[in-house]
Every structure is written in structure tokens, then in C-alpha cells.
């Protein structure tokens, strides 16, 4: 019977050890922040440049198709984008395809101090929840009132000053979608292509590669996960939740890379022995 | 005979609706646009009904589990039915704005949000463990994937740049030169596939949605 070497053991580290190591490495940065510099991707930069082109009174739609579970990834970008939109004096219409979307909206309002100086229903509004995936997104592009008759508080849409003269994609200057799934594709197909409405994507990190082929011609700007949020926070000069999260991302990514390299060293050594 | 007629009606309806939607996209004919708009509203209403149907189905399935005392399951089902009833009742106390009810809001803020984020965060632990166990350079292809994966991972974390200043540039090269063209090719091919699927549906040759293979 052959004796187990260190190379064999490297390939069979108990998963509980990995879990504990990851847990400790996620906690450490919160006790002692690393504060490593964050480089800016061209996609985040072009998102901010696109937002800066907006003029006072331009109507912007923010589609929330990410749930509360994705807050660590999507919320920082949503907050940063909302801050810039307020600076540009744009009118913001939020709506959501997630049942918990109103909580994301309320969290954005809570985290963006600029909303305090604005009036709900005049400068910004949340129209609420819609179902029906792509057909509904298509219908929103042609007739918003066919989907929403009231806002999420039950106020009739026609009593909201912000909605005066706004009923289709033609009345909207920009659409931004925060996604964990396919809704960005729906807005590309139903808003960006037929009506030419500039479109930007705020997605979880996994979606970044899905939308990268569309950048910059079809999707003018995008952020992926907490890293994208941290980049936007750096660009607007207001570090927030994502900047704090980046330290934990650094340590966790490093652990995975080191673990994979060690396992492969073990694998290569034992294969040569065989 | 009735089955054949019923099937043909479904095919005919599918074909008619497909033609209307295509015409709506390419032509500016007010009558067609109005009909297409009406159809889209119907689709939204039907999907809302499907959501209601889903809720009814959940209650039906879990109530049956409770009634039959299915071992190892029934108490989870009972809890689900209880929470479902509680949230529904709390929501109905203020139907225009359920968040105004403090108990409803507390449940969402302190149970739903925390549980949702915990569930999502746990996947990170599984991914770390799975990457360690599965990512092996067993052949050239796997080795290339491994190298690209490591560079892209380190590109996405600022620590990559600290380890070696060239890591983000190499990661971006894998991303821009490797991933983007492949993804674009995939998207174009998928679009052609969808087009072919659309034509087959239009011609009544694609019958999968009706529960049969043409």
C-alpha cells in the first residue's frame, strides 16, 4: 500500500477547511481594511460619460430586475447612477420585474442624500411591479399606461406630474437595467434597437461577459458586480458599500486562485509519479 | 377528429399572431400596431394569471403534504402555508401600500432580506470549494481554460494588479480577444437559430410547444 504524500493531500483538502478559510478571509478585511487601489474599466467610464450627457428634465427609466439577494452586487451601482442622475437634474422613473423591487427602490432613496431635496412624483417615481417578461417590456416601449395605471403606492399615473407627456420609449432619453437575468436583453431588443433609446446595463458580475459583446455600440456603458459599483463610486468620488466590499473580494479571489494552483501542483506531481 | 381540429386551431392562432407581431415590428400600419399592442397587453395579463396559478398550486401541493403527513416534509410545508397566509393577510390589511404595515415591513426587512442575502452569499462558499476540486489541468484545453480563468479572476480583483501590474492587461486580453468574439459569434448563430425556429413555428412544423415533436 503506497503512503499518502503531501501532493496527494493537497488535492484532497476537506471542503470544510476551504469554507473556514474563506470565512476568515472574508472577515479579516472588515477588521483591517486593505484599501487597495481600484482600476477603472472602460465600460464603467463610458457609463458615466453617457450619464453626464443628460440634460435637465431628461426622463430616464431604471428597470430593477434584481432582487434583494443581489444588493451586494447591484445596489452600489444603482446608488451611484441615481446620484449622477440627480446631479444632471434628470427625471427618474423606476419600475421593477421583481416582487421585492420596491425594497430596492426604497433602499436607493435611503442611500442617496440627493433625494431629500426632490419631490416624489415630480422628480422621481416608482411605478411598481410588472410581470410578463419580454412582451411586457415591448408593451412598455409603446404604451406605459397599458401596463401601469398607478404608481406603487396606488396613486393614479395621470396624477403624477413626472408622467405628464411620458407614455412610450420615444419620451424616454435613456434606459438603465439592473439585472440578475435576461431583462437587459429584452430592453436591448424592445427599446434600444427599435427606438434607439441609449441603454446601459448594471448586472451581477456573471452577466458582464453576456453584455460585453454589445459594448459600446448597443450598450453604451455597463458595470459588473461589486467591482463595477466600486469603479463608479471611485469615478464620482464618493466611496460607498462596493469600495468596502472590494477588500473581501480581493481576499476571497486570492484564496480561490491559491487553492486551485495548489490542487494542480498536487495533481501534476502525482501524475508524474504514476 | 376534435383533437385534430383543436390542434389545427392552435397552429393557426400561432401563425396569425406571429405574422401580426412581425408586421408590427417592421410596418407602421396603425391598425396592425393597435392589434399587436392589445396582444402584448393580453400576454401581460396571462402571465399575471400564471403567477396567481403558481401561488394556488403551491398552496395545493403543500396543503396535501400537510394533510397526508408526508414524513420529513409535512412540517416544512406547514410552515410555508403558515407564512404564505400570514404575509397575504398582512398585505391585505393595506392593499394600496402593504409596506405601510409595520409587521409586514419588519418581516420583509428582517427575514426576507437577510435570508435572501444569506442564501446568495452561501453560493460563494460552494463556488470556492467547487473550483478547488474541479479545476484540474487534465489536458491542454483544460490547462488553457485554467490559465485564462486565473488571469480573468485576478483582473476582476484589485489584488491582481498588486501581485503583478500586467495581470489586468493580460486578463483584459483574454476577455476582449478571446471571450467577446466567441460570444458575438454565439449570439449571431443563436439569432439565426431563433429565426429558423420562428419560420418553423410559422409553417406549423415546430410543434414542441404543443407537447409533440414534429
Name the pLDDT band for B211 (thresholds 50, 70, 90): low
DSSP code per residue over A102-129:
HHHHHHHHHH-GGGGGS-BTTTEEEEEE
Q: For A158-170, what is each residue's pLDDT tens digit?
A: 999 999 999 999 9
In this prediction the pTM is: 0.88
Q: Which residues of A fall within a CB distance of 8 Å from B17?
A: none
- pLDDT-based confidence at residue B209 (cuts at 50, 70, 90): low
Question: Cell 411605478 sits at which residue?
Answer: A127
CB contact under 8 A, A22 and B124: yes
Query: Using CA atoms, how far apart are residues A49 and A61, in angstroms rounded to an integer?
Result: 17
Query: How, if at all, do strands A59-65 and A174-179 pair?
Result: parallel
For residue B196, is it within any domain? yes
Between A250 and B214, the higher pLDDT residue:
A250
Structural domain containing residue B203: 137-214
Contacts of B23 in chain A (CB under 8 A): none
pLDDT greater than 90 at residue B2:
no
**Total residues belonging to chain A:** 274
Give the A window 42-101 contacts with B, CB below 8 Å.
Answer: 67-72, 100
Which residue from B119, B125, B161 is facing A19, i.e. has the nearest CB? B125
Is the CB of B157 less than 8 angstroms away from the CB of A71?
no
What's the grid cell of residue B81? 402555508
Give the whole-number percent of chain B exceeding pLDDT 70: 97
Q: Show Cβ contacts of residue B117 under 8 Å, excluding neighbours closer than 6 positions.
A: A68, A69, A71, A72
**What are the residue boundaries of the structural domains of chain A, listed by start?**
42-244
Length of chain B, please?
214
**How many angstroms away from the CA of A45 is the closest CA of chain B?**
15
Q: In this predicted structure, what is the pLDDT of residue A63?
A: 97
Q: Grade residue A6 by pLDDT with cuts at 50, 70 and 90.
A: confident
HEC string of B96-130?
CCHHHCHHHHHHHHHHHHHHHHHHHHHHHHHHHHH
Cα distances from A175 to residues A37, A184, A186, B67, B152, in angstroms, run: 30, 10, 12, 49, 29
- Please report which confidence band the pLDDT of residue A9 belongs to, taking 50, 70 and 90 as the band edges: confident
Q: What is the mean pLDDT of residues A57-68?
A: 96
**Across all residues in chain A, what is the average pLDDT?**
93
Give the C-alpha distances (Å, rounded to integers) separating B33 from A149, A163, B25, B40.
21, 23, 8, 11
Task: List, for residues A171-180, the tens digit of each pLDDT value.
Answer: 999 999 999 9
Residue B214 has pLDDT above 50, yes or no: no
A258 closest CA partner among B166, B154, B126, B152: B154
Task: Name the H helices within A237-274.
Answer: 241-273
Q: How confident is the model at residue B1 (pLDDT cuts 50, 70, 90)?
A: low
Average the pLDDT over A186-205 and give the result: 95
- pLDDT tens across A205-232, in order? 989 989 999 999 999 999 999 999 999 9
Q: How many domains, chain B?
A: 1
Around B104, how many Cα atoms within 13 Å sit in the side-chain half-sphere? 19
The reply to whether B16 falls in a domain is no
Domain A42-244, architecture per CATH:
3-Layer(aba) Sandwich (3.40)
Distance from A264 to chain B by nearest Cα, in Å?
6
What's the pLDDT score for residue B55? 92
pLDDT tens-digit readout, B61-100: 999 999 999 999 999 999 999 999 998 898 888 777 777 7
Any B CB within 8 A of A39 CB: yes
Task: List, for residues B187-203, the tens digit of each pLDDT value.
Answer: 999 999 998 988 887 77
Please give the average per-residue pLDDT across B121-147, as a whole number: 91
Mean pLDDT across chain B? 88
Show the CA angle centred on residue B152, arms to residues B144 and A203, nearest 5°: 130
- ipTM attached to this prediction: 0.82
Whether B12 maps to a domain, the answer reads no
CB A177 within 8 A of CB A184: yes
In sequence order, the β-bridge partners of residue A222 are A201
Question: pLDDT class for A117, splitting at 50, 70, 90?
Answer: very high
- Report the 10 Å Cβ neighbour count for A123: 19
pLDDT higher than 60, residue A194: yes
Q: Do B40 and A135 touch (CB under 8 A)?
A: yes
For B162-183, what is each residue's pLDDT tens digit?
A: 999 999 899 999 988 989 999 9
Residue A1 has pLDDT above 80, yes or no: no
What are the angstrom distances between the C-alpha of B55 and each of A77, A128, A131, A172, A211? 33, 20, 14, 35, 33
User: Which residues in chain B have their CB less than 8 angstroms from residue A75's CB?
Assistant: none
- Residue B173: inside a domain, yes or no? yes
State the pLDDT at residue B210: 66
* Residue A213 sits at the chain B interface (C-beta within 8 Å): yes
Per the CB < 8 A criterion, the answer to whether A47 and A15 are in contact is: no
Percentage of chain A modeled with pLDDT above 70: 99
pLDDT value at residue B212: 59
Amino acid at each position: 500500500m503506497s503512503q499518502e504524500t503531501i501532493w496527494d493531500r493537497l488535492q484532497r483538502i476537506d471542503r470544510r477547511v476551504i469554507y473556514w478559510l474563506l470565512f476568515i478571509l472574508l472577515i479579516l478585511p472588515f477588521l483591517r481594511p486593505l484599501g487597495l487601489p481600484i482600476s477603472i474599466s472602460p465600460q464603467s467610464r463610458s457609463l458615466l460619460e453617457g450619464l453626464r450627457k443628460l440634460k435637465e428634465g431628461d426622463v430616464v427609466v431604471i428597470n430593477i430586475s434584481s432582487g434583494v439577494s443581489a444588493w451586494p452586487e447591484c445596489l452600489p451601482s444603482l446608488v451611484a447612477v441615481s446620484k449622477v442622475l440627480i446631479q444632471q437634474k434628470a427625471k427618474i422613473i423606476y419600475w421593477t420585474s421583481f416582487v421585492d423591487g420596491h425594497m430596492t427602490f426604497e433602499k436607493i432613496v435611503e442611500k442617496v442624500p440627493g433625494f431629500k431635496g426632490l419631490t416624489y412624483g415630480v422628480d422621481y417615481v416608482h411605478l411598481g411591479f410588472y410581470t410578463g417578461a419580454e412582451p411586457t417590456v415591448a408593451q412598455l416601449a409603446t404604451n406605459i399606461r397599458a401596463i401601469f395605471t398607478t404608481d406603487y403606492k396606488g396613486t393614479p399615473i395621470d396624477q403624477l406630474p413626472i408622467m405628464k407627456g411620458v407614455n412610450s420609449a420615444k419620451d424616454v432619453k435613456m434606459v438603465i437595467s439592473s439585472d440578475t437575468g435576461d431583462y437587459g436583453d429584452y430592453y436591448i431588443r424592445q427599446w434600444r434597437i427599435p427606438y434607439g433609446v441609449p441603454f446601459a446595463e448594471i448586472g451581477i458580475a456573471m452577466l458582464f461577459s453576456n453584455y460585453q459583446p454589445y459594448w459600446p455600440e448597443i450598450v453604451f456603458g455597463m458595470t459588473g458586480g461589486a467591482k463595477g459599483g466600486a469603479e463608479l463610486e471611485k469615478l464620482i468620488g464618493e466611496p460607498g458599500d462596493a469600495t468596502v466590499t472590494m477588500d473581501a473580494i480581493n481576499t476571497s479571489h486570492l484564496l480561490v486562485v491559491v487553492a486551485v494552483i495548489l490542487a494542480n501542483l498536487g495533481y501534476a506531481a502525482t501524475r508524474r509519479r504514476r | 377528429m376534435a383533437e385534430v381540429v383543436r390542434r389545427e386551431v392552435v397552429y393557426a392562432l400561432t401563425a396569425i399572431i406571429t405574422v401580426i407581431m412581425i408586421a408590427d415590428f417592421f410596418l407602421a400600419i396603425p391598425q396592425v400596431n393597435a392589434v399587436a399592442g392589445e396582444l402584448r397587453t393580453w400576454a401581460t395579463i396571462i402571465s399575471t394569471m400564471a403567477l396567481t396559478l403558481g401561488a394556488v398550486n403551491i398552496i395545493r401541493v403543500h396543503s396535501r403534504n400537510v394533510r397526508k403527513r408526508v414524513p420529513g416534509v409535512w412540517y416544512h410545508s406547514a410552515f410555508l402555508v403558515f407564512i404564505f397566509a400570514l404575509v397575504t393577510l398582512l398585505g391585505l390589511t393595506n392593499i394600496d401600500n402593504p409596506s405601510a404595515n409595520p409587521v409586514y415591513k419588519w418581516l420583509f426587512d428582517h427575514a426576507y432580506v437577510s435570508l435572501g442575502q444569506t442564501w446568495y452569499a452561501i453560493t460563494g462558499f460552494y463556488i470556492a470549494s467547487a473550483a478547488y476540486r474541479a479545476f484540474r489541468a487534465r489536458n491542454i484545453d483544460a490547462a488553457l481554460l485554467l490559465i485564462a480563468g486565473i488571469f480573468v479572476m485576478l483582473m476582476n480583483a484589485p489584488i491582481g494588479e498588486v501581485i503583478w501590474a500586467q495581470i489586468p492587461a493580460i486578463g483584459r486580453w483574454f476577455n476582449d480577444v478571446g471571450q467577446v468574439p466567441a460570444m458575438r459569434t454565439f449570439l449571431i448563430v443563436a439569432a439565426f437559430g431563433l429565426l429558423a425556429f420562428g419560420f418553423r413555428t410559422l409553417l406549423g412544423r415546430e410543434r414542441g410547444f404543443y407537447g409533440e415533436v414534429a
